[in-house]
Structure 1
Amino acid sequence: MAMNLRLRDDQTEALRRLAQEEGVSMHTLVLRAVDDYLARTAHEARVRQTTREQAARWSELLERLG
């Protein structure tokens, strides 16, 4: 899928500098950032779901420990 990404001038310059330092394209850096974000949010969602499940499982004990 193609899309346009509009960055502020300062963001573009920072991305350009970082891409040059790392020896990759700006496109590659943006894809890495998207992948990192998706992985992080997926992990956070799993943690929230596990927390809910465990809280429900151990609710009686948690109330007694209160």
Structure 2
Amino acid sequence: MAMTLRLDDAEAAALRTRADLEDRSMQDVAREAIREYIEHHSRRDLIDGVIDRELPNFAEALERLGR
């Protein structure tokens, strides 16, 4: 799928600098950043879901530890 990504001047310059430093295209750097963002947030959502489900099971023990 093709899409247009609009960046302000500072964002475009930073992306260009990063791509030049890594000898990669701006598109490759941007695509990797998107993949990392999705992976990071997907992992966080999974962990948050487990905590929301399991925390009530340990509420009493956590309360005792907090005293």
TM norm structure 1: 0.85
Give the secondary structure class of the aligned counterpart of 2:24: coil
Gaps in structure 1 of 5+ consecutive residues: none
Looking at structure 2, the residues matched to 50 and 27 of structure 1 have their Cα atoms a distance apart, in angstroms, of: 35
Give the secondary structure class of the aligned counterpart of 1:4: coil
Deviating above 2 A after TM superposition, structure 1's stretches of 4 or more consecutive aligned residues are 56-63
Gaps in structure 2 of 5+ consecutive residues: none
Question: Deviation digits for residues 15-62 of structure 1, max 9, x if unmatched?
Answer: 111101101100001001101100110111011111112112223434
Output aligned runs, 1:1-66, within 5 Å: 1-63=1-63, 65=64
RMSD (Å), alpha carbons:
1.4
Looking at structure 1, the residues matched to 51 and 13 of structure 2 have their Cα atoms a distance apart, in angstroms, of: 41
Percent identity reads 31
Q: Number of matched residues? A: 65
